[in-house]
Amino acid sequence: MFGCPAVPNYLRTKLGLDLEAKQKDRWNAAASKQASESTMEEIKKFNAMLTSALEHVKEEEDRKTKSGQSLDCFSCRTIML
């Protein structure tokens, strides 16, 4: 009923195919951008966690080096026991 060329565009219930394609592209671009921002935020959090863990390992190595203890690994200690 509203597909007739005599009906104004603002009364039509569906966008034209070209406008519908543009709208779909915009929605996809926005969703992609949001997903990539979310992914980047997760990567930043993971990097911060790894940096913190690395700092703890370095501090432990420094502590053992200063106290004269050997830097053997956990698996070596369990094999020796």
Cα(28)–Cα(75) distance, rounded to whole angstroms? 49
Range of the domain at 28: 9-80
What 8-state DSSP symbol labels residue 7?
Answer: S
pTM over 0.75: no
Residue 1 covered by a domain:
no
Amino acid 16: pLDDT: 80
Amino acid 14: pLDDT: 74
Residue 29 covered by a domain:
yes
CB 5 within 8 A of CB 16: no
Contacts (Cβ under 8 Å, ≥6 apart) of 20: 14
Which of the four pLDDT bands, split at 50, 70 and 90, describes residue 71? low
Amino acid 47: pLDDT: 94
Residue 47 covered by a domain:
yes
What is the total count of domains within the chain?
Answer: 1
Residue 21 covered by a domain:
yes
Residue 66 covered by a domain:
yes
Residue 4 covered by a domain:
no
Cα(20)–Cα(24) distance, rounded to whole angstroms? 6
Measured between alpha carbons, how far apart are the two ends of the chain, in Å? 86
